[in-house]
Amino acid sequence: MEQNPNKPKILCVKISSNQRFFILGKEDGFEVYSCTPKFSLLFRRKFQKTGISIIDILESSNIFALVGDNKDQNFPTNKVFLWDDLNQKSIMEIAFPMPIRALKITTKFVFALTKKKCFIVEIEKRSIFKSFPITSPSDIIPSNSFDFSLMKRNSLHIAIPHQLRAKIFYTNITKPLVESIIQLNTPSYQVIKFNNKLTFLAVVSPSGKQLLLYDLLTGVLHQKFRIANNVSKIHSMSFTQDDKIIAILFENGIIRVCSIQLNETTNRLVKIENQMKNVYKKNLINIEDDIQGTCEFNEWNDLLVIYLNGACYRFTFDTIEKKITDTVTFNFLDSKEVKESKLNFNNKIVDENEMKTGIVSDKQKENINEKTNENIENELNDLGELVKEQTLEDDEEK
């Protein structure tokens, strides 16, 4: 299904870090959907002066990180707004020296990737915690050029493109003295992804034909697999909780789900049956050649797949038998209007324990209605009364 040209265009899609929600950035605002127990529209926010080109949600809280689309000078692509949706106000604004290409928010930090630097902003102190010079591969989707892994013990790992080509910088930012450089066996890459146990980093080659696994302890290439016979663009990939299965989303809307065999004698990925491929050929037969999307395994090893053309899938996997046991489909372009907008999420941004208590119950979801908020822009513009704006200067740009 193609987007209606008379409706606001969808600019981006993001699955939350706990895989319970997905968010759409649109030409007139953003929308939030539930992924469990069923796909459903929770609420939408409409803006008169700006669209949302990049968005992220802080786990199951009401806090959103937003980047405008340059339609209005007050909402340029080099600014991040932290939006408290429960209280309907902006709580922080950060200006960067260059347009933002990718964005991530955690309970303590905001990560912003520009063309030349990765900035880490400490939310509580409203200041730069650290910044790293980078070189962004030109042939990838920016959101795939870096990855994060937040462990339960509150150690936050980050992998970003190094300032020198063919290298990836990897560090635990909670232990800044522990830094590593991974020397790639390819001149560049398309996508990088940590496995859940943080033992290796998966890297897709520039051609999209190979998947390379680098040992995070030594930084050396551990194994190499062929994932495609022809040159391909990869949009996203994700591991199951036990790291034994990987899903790889290709540009043509086909997702390949493979079982990883890690040993010294086998350098190949074993594809799990043909169920996934057949499902996608059947349901998305008329999609464009290059439709953008994203995929994530949740904690129950359900595979979520969201496309910008409205198609959503949740595949339930039996990781032992290595087969699909259930499939749920949904199209957000057909989702009904909701009447109320207020979502009872927790509204604090520093206390991590309280943050994780803000999940909306099924009963609350049924009572959520639509609300068009015409004064959001005025509140964002009046940031002088809310928080002191901090502009991050880049010495290289002076």
Instruction: Average the pLDDT over 77-86 and give the result.
Output: 92
Confidence of residue 166 (pLDDT cuts 50, 70, 90): confident
> How confident is the model at residue 268, as a pLDDT?
56
Of 372, 302, 365, 313, nearest to 41 by C-alpha is 365
CB 15 within 8 A of CB 296: yes
Instruction: Band the pLDDT of 379: cuts 50, 70, 90.
Output: very low
**pLDDT of 306:** 92
Q: What is the pTM for the complete model shown?
A: 0.78
Higher pLDDT among residues 385 and 30, named by residue: 30
352: three-class secondary structure by DSSP:
helix
Angle among Cα 139, 143, 146 to the nearest 5 degrees reads 90
247 vs 277: which has the higher pLDDT: 247
pLDDT of residue 289: 54
Return the pLDDT at 40.
92
What CATH fold (topology level) applies to the domain 10-386?
A: Methylamine Dehydrogenase; Chain H (2.130.10)
With a cut of 90, say whether residue 310 has pLDDT above it.
Answer: no
Q: What is the pLDDT of residues 138-153, one digit of tens each?
A: 555 556 666 766 554 5
At residue 296, the pLDDT reads 93
Q: What whole-number distance in Å separates Cα of residue 235 and Cα of residue 292? A: 7
The token pair that represents 237 in the structure block: 């990939």
pLDDT computed for residue 326 by the predictor: 86
pLDDT single digits (tens) 189-236 = 888 899 988 888 999 998 988 889 999 888 889 888 888 888 888 889
DSSP states along 100-125? --EEEE-SSEEEEE-SSEEEEEETTT
The pLDDT assigned to 148 comes to 63
Query: What is the Cα–Cα distance from 191 to 172, expressed in whole angstroms?
Result: 20
The Cα-based distances of 236 to 57, 225, 248, 257 in angstroms read 18, 17, 6, 12
Q: Is the pLDDT of residue 392 over 80?
A: no
pLDDT of residue 8: 84
How much of the chain, in percent, has pLDDT values that exceed 70?
70
The band of 337, judged by pLDDT with boundaries at 50, 70 and 90, is low
Does position 277 have pLDDT exceeding 80, yes or no? no
The residue among 98 and 388 whose pLDDT is bigger is 98
Residue 389 pLDDT:
36
